[in-house]
Structures are given as C-alpha cells and as structure tokens.
Structure 1
C-alpha cells in the first residue's frame, strides 16, 4: 500500500505535458555555470511540480527558472550526500513560508489555524537519514513554517529497524511519515528488492529501486497511468441514436468503460495505451538493480561524471586511457558517458539525458564554443553505445517528454 493515494477525479483526465527542468547539473562542487544537483518534474494540466534532489541553492535556482515555488508538492531524494540534500531546509522554508524565531513550548498562531486542512503538506521521500537531516536543520535553526511536511523513508534491509538517526523530537510542523520496506523481487537474477508504488494516484505512480553508489542510493521510476486513445465518435453514434441512449455515454466510452445498450449491443470502451515512463537515477556506477522497473523508458536521466577526452580536456593525464578513467570513476561510485549509454541501450530507452558532470565541464555550451566542444565530445561517447537520442543537460534546460 503506498503511503498516500490522491484521487484525481476533480483533475484533468491526463497530463497534457510532462516536462523536466534541470536546476543543477554539477557533481560534488558547483561552478559558475553549474549548480548542485536538482531537477524539477512538472505536470501540465494538474500543475504539480516534483523535485528530484535538492542540492545547495536549489531555492535560488527555482526563483531564477520558470518553476513555480508554490507548485512544489513532493521532493524525492536519491541519497544523502550533501550535494544532493544541502538545499532542502531553505527550500522547505521557501515553499512553506518559513521564518526564524520558533520557540519550543509556545504555540504560534500562524502554525495552528482553525482548519488544519488549510495547510499545505509537502511530501518528501528518501533513504534513511533524510528525516533526521531535515528535522535537525529546521529545529536547530529555529525555523517555523506555515505548512506541514512529511518524510517517508525508503529503508534498505541493512538499515536498523525503526532508527531515525536523531534523538530530536519532531518539528512542530512535521507529520508522522512511514518507513517503506522493499518488496522482494521474484526473479532471483536480481537478488535485490524494490519499492513498488511508493506513491500512486489516478494519473501517475512512482516506484524505486536501489542503485550502486558509495552510499545507500535510490533511483526513481515515474510511470504515467495508461492513457485513453483518441475516440472516433462515428463508430458509436449510430448505435447510441438507434437505442435513444444518452449522448453522455460517449464520455464513459472515452474513459474506457464498456456499455451494453438496450438492444443488447455491447460498445467497447476506447482502449488505453501505455503512459510515459521516466527513469531518474541518482549517483551510480551500476544501476542494474532498477532494470526491471526501467525497461522501455521514454526518458532516462543518468549521471556521466567523468569522461576520457584526450586532446579536448586539458585535465586529461598523459597516462590516462578510457579504461583507466572508467576504473577511477567507478571506484568513486560514478559513471562515464559510455556506461550511461550502455545502460540506456540495455533498457531500450528512447532518450538519454546525461547529467551530474564534473565541475571542470562547463555548463554554458549554448554560448561558449569551448564548452560546446567538450559537451559534444561527451555526448559522442554515449552515442557510441546508444543509438537513441542523447542530450547533455545544462542548468535551466527544459525538456518535454513526448508521447
């Protein structure tokens, strides 16, 4: 059972657009052209925005982008390295009208409205330590909020049962979250569990799986629910008119319902086609545990921290080779463009977006020729392994995920 399930009956029948805006594409250290890791997933029609990771200064990147702070409803953390989580406390304060000056034992009327339903609740998902980090950051900075937040932790089998890594009491605005345990995989080939449907509603589901890094790390798979195909009313209208049935039956048929008319004619609802699938990985040198969930991705976002670029990257060592760079990158828990391309090919992805670049790879390749040469070379390395579309992410880039 997912921790929450929201009815979408009052919302649009499907998302008109799904887009990804990259707020930070740097690895480890920010630079003048790349910020720490974060991206925003925006759903057209419903208007929700979800963040994946929240590195330092993410709040400022949101303010400089077209992403709306007030639309952020969920934050998914891949792992608790600082470059992926340091920005979450100020981001929460920005989303929930935070301020300093909370005094323990005193009730602030701004935080206790007559109707608690008026408060925004922001949901956060992440591995063990996410809850403790946020609680500590908010309480020790005496931050008060005008809304509520809840942290659901994706627990690994090796995690201590029930442990939160903190003895601090919950923040006044923190609601009780769930500790989500893995579902074992039936296929012994993988030997690892997954977190199935950690969130689900009528329009979208989110599942997760562990991916290999230097610390506990998670990759997320966002699946749009099956979408009705376009209806041909002329196929149904003669039968509806002959039976003097309500014209409103067309709406039910469009939703996929089957209808039996008075004369016994059965009208089959419009069949649905698969929705869009997005795979968003954290840092990894081996994402294979997520493969069963990721097959057939429309969009794969995969890190490509380091690359072997002789004659292009001046930081290339004389004794470097492609194998040496891959071994060094892997030893630090990261991937090369070729590794990303191979995984994209394995899961049959339609589009690969390379992300999480070393600070030495400038992110202004749209205006800087030297940076463009480097990023084109990185893209070319991935294209040697993957024949689909490859894009190198840069800060403030927005991609639309087509059907």
Structure 2
C-alpha cells in the first residue's frame, strides 16, 4: 500500500438543532440553524436570525465554529450570519477620533486559517454589503465559496470591494453532472452538494465520513505477534487496515475498512429529487416539514382543508409536508429521518407540554406512514449522537 497513512474515524459526530422554525420564529422555535460537531470542530448549516442567542443557550462553543454552510439566501436562513461573524471573528465598529483600529490589518497570510462560508450566489455579496454598511471591522479572516448554478452570472455578483478580512481565495464552484462533488474534502470527511427545488435557488448538503477502521479481534493476531517477538505496536497498523509482514514471513491482514457516517442536510424544498443520487443510504436525513393536516389534533385546522389541499399549499410556497419528507426518506433508504423547519403554529415545547407533544407525535406519524422507519421531530437545542454504522 502507499506510504500515506489512512484516516482514522472521527472521535464523535453529533448534531445540535439551534433553530427549527420556518418563516416566523416563536417563543419556542428560533429561525433555522443546526450545528454539526465533527470531533472538536463545529460546522453550522444555515444561520437564521438570533442564531448566536441559541448558541449561548447550547453546549456549542462559538470559537469552535470553523465552517458555515448556507442552503439559500432567504432571511430566515441567513439573517443571523453577519452578527455571528462579528462575534466569532472579534468584530467591532471601529474607533473614535481618528485612532486606527488594529482590525484594519487582519493577517491573511497563506498559513492563516479563515472561517469558511459556503452558499449559493448572493452569499458573498450579502456579507460584503452587510459589513460595509454597518462599518463592521473583523479581527480575523473569512472566505466565501459560492456554489454556482449553470444560469448564474460570472464574477463576484457585487461591485463592492472585498472586506479587509475577506480572503481572495473564495471559489466559485461550478456543477459537475448536476451537483457539486467534494466542495470540501480532507482526510476524514467530504462535503458534496446538489440543488433542491424551492421558490429560490437552494442547496442540500451531504456530509460523508471517509471509511473508518474495521472491527478487529486482537485474539486473531496476538499469538503470531508473540511467537515472532514482534512489537505489539503493530496492532495500531493492523487496526488501520494495513497488512503487516512478520519476521518469519507470516502476513497479518488488518480488517477491511468500513463505511463512515453519512448525513444529508436539506434546505427548504418541495422536491429534493436532484440530490437523491448522492444522498442514497444516508444514516441521517434532515428534511423540512413546514405544513401538516392534523384534523382533530391541531385546533387551527380549517374545516375545508384536506391532506391534498395542505400539500398543494405547501408546494406552492416551496415547502413540504411530513408525508413528502417520509416519501423521500424511503426513496433514498435513509436509516433515520429528522423533521424540522416547522410552521409557527407548531410549538417546540413538546418535551414539557402534552398538547404540543400530541401535535408533534401526529406529525411524526404522518411521515412514518410513508417512510416506515424511525422519525424524530426536532426541537431547538435537541442534540443527537450519530453512531458509526454497525
């Protein structure tokens, strides 16, 4: 095998839902955002209004945030980005009486690690405009990469100059065969993306952990290692899947590596079909379920409504019902479905309120009826650990 050491598994993978509301927040649901914990790093997916308030109530450390992925530029998914950047990157509004602020000279050298932002066309312009017209100075660098649709214009899509803290290395990433493969990749994970259908250009993301060490029974190896007086340290090489030749010519073969975790995080959508080819067999699917028909359970249900009319209304606004989410979960063979992005009519205090719990259980049941697997209705500050596939 090559001299490159194969990657190990992430120490842990966890998701924290920071905001699970749709267009309007409520006292129990904030605007859209979730944190993906990858070992010691945190990546945010969407950053709706007041996301940093939710961060302060969660176990997520703002200083651990390394990347932010925006699904689309509707306000309930991006209005919290600028305040979070100012907090995360030591921002300020400048100094008085002509004293030069040191933030005007942010280090942007080759070895500087910026906060990375990914999003569709308009993300870069939104950040530049917001920072310029609020006179915000940042004390650390950031970079914006845009996932471009075939019909998008060329260039930065803004005439404003880069902020002093914005690195010039931001990429405009073109689609290949209808999706964006490996918009980010390191030796542990890759991130790919694809369009999903909404009322505006919208992106879904697929986070793939690279293959991880296989399960190993030390008793299969120890006798031969002891017989040849080989250092026990070779066990770590075997655990990584390497083959080890002992002094007597015996070759010990490490267990084959196994699939890592796969997480699909969708933005708003009435049809995520374009992402299906790269989303198959996910361990976790996070799918919106903005509207539901709950006669006899939800007191705001209109008499003239039916399942069909509620779905038609959801689709007309670019959104999904629980049944639509369940059908897509079944289509891609995901192991577990999480619903989010709920209408303001559905409170998020189902852990303490019996009436809310009845409503959310009914929403989950509608999705499960189509999906046939485990469905969880997310609520703000809910955290889940994602285990390696067995």
Task: Sort the TM-score into its range (normalised by shorter chain).
Answer: over 0.9
Matched, 1:100 2:85: no
Task: Note the residue ranges of structure 1 that are not aligned, 5 or more in a row.
Answer: 1-7, 185-192
TM-score, normalised on structure 1? 0.90
Correspondence for 1:35: 30
Matched, 1:209 2:209: no
Matched, 1:169 2:154: no
Is residue 338–residue 382 contact of structure 1 (8 Å, CA) maintained in 2?
yes
Map residues 4-403 of structure 1 onto 2, 5 A cutoff: 13-44=8-39, 47-101=40-94, 108-110=101-103, 112=105, 116=109, 120-162=113-155, 164-176=156-168, 177-184=170-177, 193-403=178-388
TM-score, normalised on structure 2? 0.93
The alpha carbon displacement at 1:270 in A equals 2.3
The alpha carbon displacement at 1:238 in A equals 3.0
Q: Could you give the per-residue CA deviations for residues 169-220 of structure 1, whole angstroms, max 9, x where no partner exists? A: 0000001200011111xxxxxxxx1111111111111110100001100000
Q: How many pairs align?
A: 383
Q: Could you give the per-residue CA deviations for residues 32-80 of structure 1, whole angstroms, max 9, x where no partner exists? A: 1111000001123xx0000000000001110111110000000000000
Change in CA separation of 1:12 and 1:65 when aligned onto 2, cut-off 3 Å? farther
The alpha carbon displacement at 1:102 in A equals 7.3
- Cα distance in 1 for partners of 2:296, 2:255 equals 56
Compare 252-261 and 289-298 and name the one that shifted more.
252-261
Is residue 230–residue 246 contact of structure 2 (8 Å, CA) maintained in 1?
yes
Is residue 106–residue 141 contact of structure 2 (8 Å, CA) maintained in 1?
no
Change in CA separation of 1:97 and 1:360 when aligned onto 2, cut-off 3 Å? same
- Cα distance in 1 for partners of 2:256, 2:33 equals 37
What RMSD over aligned residues (CA atoms) do the two structures have, in Å? 2.2
Change in CA separation of 1:79 and 1:257 when aligned onto 2, cut-off 3 Å? same
- Cα distance in 2 for partners of 1:166, 1:115 equals 21
- Cα distance in 1 for partners of 2:333, 2:66 equals 30
Is residue 129–residue 165 contact of structure 1 (8 Å, CA) maintained in 2?
yes
Q: Could you give the per-residue CA deviations for residues 250-285 of structure 1, whole angstroms, max 9, x where no partner exists? A: 221111112233433222122111011110000000
The alpha carbon displacement at 1:87 in A equals 0.4
Change in CA separation of 1:348 and 1:236 when aligned onto 2, cut-off 3 Å? same
Task: Note the residue ranges of structure 2 that are not aligned, 5 or more in a row.
Answer: none
- Cα distance in 1 for partners of 2:158, 2:92 equals 23
The alpha carbon displacement at 1:396 in A equals 0.7
What is the SS of the residue equivalent to 1:384?
helix
- Cα distance in 2 for partners of 1:314, 1:238 equals 69
- Cα distance in 1 for partners of 2:278, 2:111 equals 36
What is the SS of the residue equivalent to 1:270?
coil
What is the SS of the residue equivalent to 1:300?
strand
